[in-house]
Structure 1
């Protein structure tokens, strides 16, 4: 691996403002905005729109599509046509 061509791998905080959720991890992503973390250090922070705390699939608020109506409509439309 060439050291001059790789982006720096550093601690970064990803924050979901909608859910009030943030976590510290390592990433090559950078940001000018910083945040003071619980350990007393300052880290760059990246705001994300959706995380596991706010995604409908993970929170159980996902909508289910009513496919029964579509199937019944298809069967009525093509009933007896062979």
Structure 2
């Protein structure tokens, strides 16, 4: 392999905020923060969702709207958008 062209492959601490789960895996992701976990300092990345909180893996339905997209959509279109696809008899 050529030197200097590949990203650094190292252990990274991921934190699923919705399930409060921390796990360490190898990754090339660039992290802005570092956090100490079990006596070792790792690059730290926050996640909104992972397999610990995803409805497909947990079997629980949950709406995760961290940026207010649903409210923004309802405010913009209201209920009129839902009625566009229905045919009147």
**Normalising to structure 1: TM-score of the pair?**
0.69
Aligned to 1:80: none
Where structure 2 has 5 or more consecutive residues not aligned to the other structure, the ranges are 63-89
Distance in structure 1 (CA, Å) of the matches to 2:2 and 2:25: 23
Distance in structure 2 (CA, Å) of the matches to 1:3 and 1:48: 31
Aligned to 1:8: 8
Distance in structure 1 (CA, Å) of the matches to 2:24 and 2:3: 24
Aligned to 1:75: none
Distance in structure 2 (CA, Å) of the matches to 1:42 and 1:59: 30
- Please show how residues 13-52 of structure 1 align to structure 2 within 5 Å: 13-38=13-38, 40-52=39-51
Aligned residues: 62
Bigger Cα Rg: 1
Where structure 1 has 5 or more consecutive residues not aligned to the other structure, the ranges are 64-82
